[in-house]
């Protein structure tokens, strides 16, 4: 989707971090923006910044764990701006616990937001996007942790959800090929966001215990090569224009991914030798 001006972008997790920067970047390109977040005040602040810069945007409350909430968000996009051309399933949360310390409530929260949030977004928006007959694009936010497993900082459940986000995006790209709707999966490394403070939006019905790994240890400001959300947003818009499937922001992390693929390749060689 090379032409963005005049189009409509819907972005979840838009109250802060990558979502807020994506919203601002889309508005700067002349897009009308629906900035959605479970943090209503954060979404409103994002919209205020866009409007202050002369852009057009509307804030919306959304709980991506619930399909009905995404259906309502789609209604808002069509009723307010007449459609959606760029859907960014960006909402995400993190729990910092080793696998064996994770509770069922931790798994449910992470998978409901990071995976089912994407599934619900696709179900609510993509059929309408296809029906409107215009060029469109979907961006699903995964992580470098969706391409290689990193045991540090207790990212087991988070990693599982992001591997799933990558695979969903790969399948979606194949299924939508030739439809006029492109698909990208965003796989960033460390980004200066508040995701390590995810407990601030953890729902009351999914309580958790204090992890042995402190969230402060996962603060991205301590990680080499950390990028700003604004940098990530520009990578996304370039990827949308060029219809790239994989949006990579941290090329220095390539060896970790290559190491995983090499291990898988060796396993195939072993199976061939033993057959």
Residues designated catalytic: 158
**Residue 149 CB neighbour total at 10 angstroms:** 14
C-alpha to C-alpha distance for 60 and 57, rounded to whole angstroms: 10
Q: DSSP letters along 196-263, please? A: GGGGGG--TTS--PPPSS-GGGG-GGGSTT-B-HHHHHHHHHHHHHHT-SEEES-GGGHHHHHHHHHH
Query: What does the angle CA 146 – CA 203 – CA 69 come to, to the nearest 5 degrees?
Result: 80
CA 109 to CA 227: how far, in whole Å? 26
C-alpha of 272 from chain center: 38
Strand order in the sheet with 86-89: 57-61, 32-37, 8-12, 86-89, 136-141, 181-187, 246-248
* Tokens standing for residue 206: 């999914």
Q: Phi/psi zone of residue 178: left (φ > 0), alpha (ψ -120 to 50 degrees), beta?
A: left
């Amino acid at each position: 989707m090379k032409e963005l001006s005049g189009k409509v972008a819907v972005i979840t997790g838009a109250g802060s971090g990558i979502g807020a920067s994506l919203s601002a970047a889309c508005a700067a390109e002349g897009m009308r923006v629906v900035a959605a977040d479970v943090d209503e005040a954060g979404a409103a602040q994002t919209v205020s910044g866009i409007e202050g810069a002369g852009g057009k945007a509307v804030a919306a409350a959304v709980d991506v764990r619930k399909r009905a909430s995404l259906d309502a968000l789609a209604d808002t996009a069509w009723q307010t701006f007449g459609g959606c051309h760029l859907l960014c399933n960006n909402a995400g949360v993190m729990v910092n616990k080793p696998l064996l310390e994770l509770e069922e409530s931790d798994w449910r929260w992470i998978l409901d937001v990071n995976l089912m949030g994407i599934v619900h977004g696709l179900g609510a928006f993509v059929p309408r996007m296809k029906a409107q007959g215009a060029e469109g694009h979907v961006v699903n936010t995964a992580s470098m942790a969706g391409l290689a497993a990193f045991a540090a900082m207790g990212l087991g459940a988070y990693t599982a959800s992001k591997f799933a986000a990558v695979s969903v995006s790969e399948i979606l790209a194949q299924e939508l090929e030739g439809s006029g709707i492109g698909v990208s999966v965003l796989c960033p490394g460390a980004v200066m966001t508040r995701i390590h403070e995810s407990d601030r939006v953890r729902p009351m019905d999914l309580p958790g215990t204090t992890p042995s790994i402190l969230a402060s240890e996962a603060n991205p400001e301590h990680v080499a090569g950390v990028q700003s959300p604004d940098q990530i947003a520009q990578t996304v818009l370039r990827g949308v224009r060029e219809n790239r499937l994989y949006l990579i922001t941290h090329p220095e992390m390539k060896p970790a991914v290559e190491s995983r693929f090499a291990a898988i390749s060796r396993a195939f060689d072993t199976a061939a030798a033993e057959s």
